[in-house]
């Protein structure tokens, strides 16, 4: 019978247990795949920037395309003021994208399918954006909760809604990525299980679905990385430009 | 029918599996949360610094270099274009000047040639006339001479014939007179 489709998300220790101040920080398969993803990014960038050609070769072209893609995304959504944050958003986009893509390989582990990972990224972005907002505008940053042009009667209600929506940003950001990745991989596993259990006679249909879903999941992997990065840009834009 | 039955049995079995799975979402097990957070922060920090300090400046430099190079090239091309256009104008000017000069030279040489030809023609014509007059003179002299020559020859011939026929020598003066008389009559016919 098909194995548990959630099995693929289980984290297990690799190597010896590492405990610092009573907290278990052991090296796990999640850590391994984080390192693999990061290594692929660094290796890719290493070969992409190894030779400085006026007419780039393929890998250099791809590296430059990533650069211009993220640069354009930032300048389109957050303007020129966001330039100092370009390395962070570039790293974020690349990390999420490569974690998602590495997760698409059979027998691999999807780092971004864990709520704790996406939540930490989202919380870091949320806190950093809030700090940037207060540093740039002082208490005027609070005016982000009071949109202009709203009737006075509605103002208290709108403000409350705005505060809730602001505070829910890290949750929506992290859950969006985590849920997408988890759902997709679970679905793939379930259909994979159908193929096995229905055998030669009935397995072709779920196999077709499986193939189609793999394509869809690759799209989702890219899309979610893009969405993650672009939402970060939008939040950054709110903090930097303060016109709601 | 048996096939459909198998399908449903399988579906139910897998559904059961799914529900079993829902009971344990590994993501919600806090056992390795701290570990994941720690490794995430570690890996991401390393990634961020190596990207921002090392790779992005390289890519940016390269892109800027290329842009500058393209800009420079375009500038150079424009300069070359302007230069070539000005050179073309210069060339056209020179060509026009040369054409004018050619026409001038042509006219000049034609005039000179005409003059030369005219002069030479005149000279030659004069010479021809001179020679013509000379020749006429010579001819008329020759005519005169030839008439007297004819007289002499005819006289001798007449004397010889007479001598041969009659065996007598005739008086020279009479022969002369006879010949002159006949030739006066007949020379006008042949000359």
Total domains present in chain B: 1
B38–chain A Cβ distance below 8 A for any pair: yes
A113–chain B Cβ distance below 8 A for any pair: yes
Q: What is the pLDDT of residue B9?
A: 55
Q: Is residue B17 part of a domain?
A: no
Residues 152-171 of A with CB under 8 A from B: none
In tens digits, chain A (244 residues) has pLDDT values of: 346 777 778 777 787 777 777 777 888 888 899 999 999 999 998 888 887 777 778 888 888 899 999 999 998 888 888 888 899 999 999 999 999 999 888 888 888 888 889 999 999 999 999 999 899 888 888 888 887 788 888 888 888 998 999 999 999 999 999 999 888 888 888 888 888 888 788 788 888 888 999 999 999 999 999 999 999 999 988 888 876 5
Q: Is residue B52 part of a domain?
A: no
Using CA atoms, how far apart are residues B191 and B187, in angstroms rounded to an integer? 6
Q: Which two tokens stand for residue A113?
A: 């399918």
What are the angstrom distances between the C-alpha of A233 and each of B39, B45, B114, B178?
Answer: 25, 19, 92, 152
Bridge partners of A28, per DSSP, are: A13
CA angle (A22, A25, A26) in 5-degree steps: 120
Q: Is residue B34 part of a domain?
A: no
Q: What is the pLDDT of residue A194?
A: 85
Q: What is the pLDDT of residue A203?
A: 80
Q: Is residue B16 part of a domain?
A: no
Nearest Cα to Cα of residue A64 among A89, A47, A79, A78: A47
- Helix, strand, coil percentages for chain B (3-state, nearest 5): 95, 0, 5
Give the chain B residue whose CA is nearest to the CA of A32.
Answer: B39
Q: Is residue B48 part of a domain?
A: no
| ipTM above threshold 0.85 | yes
What residues of B are in contact with residue A88 (Cβ under 8 Å)? 48, 52
Residues 8-47 of A with CB under 8 A from B: 9-11, 13, 18, 23-28, 30-31, 34-35, 38, 41-42, 45-46
In tens digits, chain B (191 residues) has pLDDT values of: 556 656 555 555 555 454 444 447 777 777 788 888 888 999 999 999 999 888 888 888 888 888 898 999 999 999 999 999 999 999 999 999 999 999 999 999 999 999 999 999 999 999 999 999 999 999 888 888 877 777 788 778 878 888 888 777 767 777 778 777 777 777 666 65
Task: Spell out the residues 6+ positions from residue B190 whose beta carbon is closer than 8 angstroms to its own.
Answer: none
Q: What is the pLDDT of residue B6?
A: 61
pLDDT digits (tens, 9 = 90+) for A4-32: 777 778 777 787 777 777 777 888 888 89
Q: Is residue B4 part of a domain?
A: no
Q: Which two tokens stand for residue A66?
A: 């990533």
Q: Do A42 and B47 touch (CB under 8 A)?
A: yes
Q: What is the pLDDT of residue A61?
A: 87
Q: What is the pLDDT of residue B160?
A: 83
Q: What is the pLDDT of residue B19?
A: 47
Q: What is the pLDDT of residue B114?
A: 92
B43 and A27 Cβ atoms separated by less than 8 Å: no
Which range of residues forms the domain containing residue B69? Answer: 57-190
Q: Is residue B148 part of a domain?
A: yes
Q: For tokens 């000379």, name the residue.
A: B134
Q: What is the pLDDT of residue A171?
A: 92
Q: What is the pLDDT of residue B21?
A: 45
Burial of A229 (0-12, 13-18, 19+ CB in 10 A): buried
What residues of A are in contact with residue B55 (Cβ under 8 Å)? 42, 45-46, 48-49, 63
Using CA atoms, how far apart are residues B170 and B97, in angstroms rounded to an integer? 94
**Which of B8, B10, B65, B70 to probe by mutation at the A interface, max A CB count within 10 Å?**
B10
A44 and B59 Cβ atoms separated by less than 8 Å: no
Burial of B180 (0-12, 13-18, 19+ CB in 10 A): middle
């Amino acid at each position: 019978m098909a194995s548990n489709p959630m099995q693929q998300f289980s984290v297990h220790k690799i190597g010896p247990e590492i405990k610092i101040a009573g907290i278990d920080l052991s090296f796990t398969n999640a850590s391994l795949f984080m390192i693999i993803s990061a290594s692929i990014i660094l290796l890719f960038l290493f070969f992409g920037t190894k030779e400085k050609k006026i007419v780039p070769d393929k890998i250099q072209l791809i590296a430059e395309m990533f650069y211009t893609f993220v640069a354009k995304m930032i300048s389109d959504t957050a303007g020129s003021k966001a330039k100092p944050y370009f390395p962070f958003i570039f790293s974020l986009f690349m990390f999420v994208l490569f974690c998602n893509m590495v997760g698409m390989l059979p027998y691999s582990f999807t780092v971004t399918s864990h709520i704790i990972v996406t939540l930490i990224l989202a919380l870091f972005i949320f806190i950093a954006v809030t700090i940037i907002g207060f540093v740039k505008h002082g208490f005027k940053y609070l005016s982000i909760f009071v949109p202009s042009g709203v009737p006075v009667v509605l103002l208290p209600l709108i403000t409350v809604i705005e505060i809730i929506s602001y505070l829910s940003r890290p949750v929506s950001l992290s859950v969006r990525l985590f849920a997408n990745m988890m759902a997709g991989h679970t679905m793939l596993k379930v259909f994979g299980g159908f193929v096995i259990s229905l055998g030669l006679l009935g397995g072709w249909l779920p196999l077709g679905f499986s193939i189609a879903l793999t394509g869809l999941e690759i799209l989702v992997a890219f899309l979610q990385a893009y969405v993650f990065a672009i939402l970060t840009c939008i939040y950054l834009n709110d903090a930097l430009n303060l016109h709601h | 029918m048996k096939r459909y039955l198998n399908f449903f049995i399988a579906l139910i079995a897998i559904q059961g599996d799914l529900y079993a799975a829902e009971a344990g979402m590994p993501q919600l097990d806090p056992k390795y949360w701290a570990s994941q957070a720690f490794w995430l922060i570690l890996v991401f920090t390393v990634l961020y610094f190596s990207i921002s300090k090392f790779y992005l400046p390289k890519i940016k430099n390269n892109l800027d270099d290329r842009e500058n190079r393209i800009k420079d090239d375009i500038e150079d091309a424009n300069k070359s274009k302007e230069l070539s256009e000005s050179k073309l104008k210069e060339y056209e000017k020179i060509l026009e000047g040369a054409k004018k000069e050619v026409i001038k030279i042509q006219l000049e040489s034609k005039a000179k040639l005409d003059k030369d030809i005219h002069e030479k023609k005149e000279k030659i014509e004069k010479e021809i006339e001179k020679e013509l007059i000379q020749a006429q003179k010579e001819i008329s002299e020759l005519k005169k001479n030839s008439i007297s020559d004819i007289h002499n020859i005819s006289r001798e011939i007449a004397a010889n014939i007479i001598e041969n026929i009659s065996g007598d020598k005739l008086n020279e003066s009479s022969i002369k007179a006879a010949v002159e008389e006949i030739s006066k009559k007949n020379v006008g016919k042949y000359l």
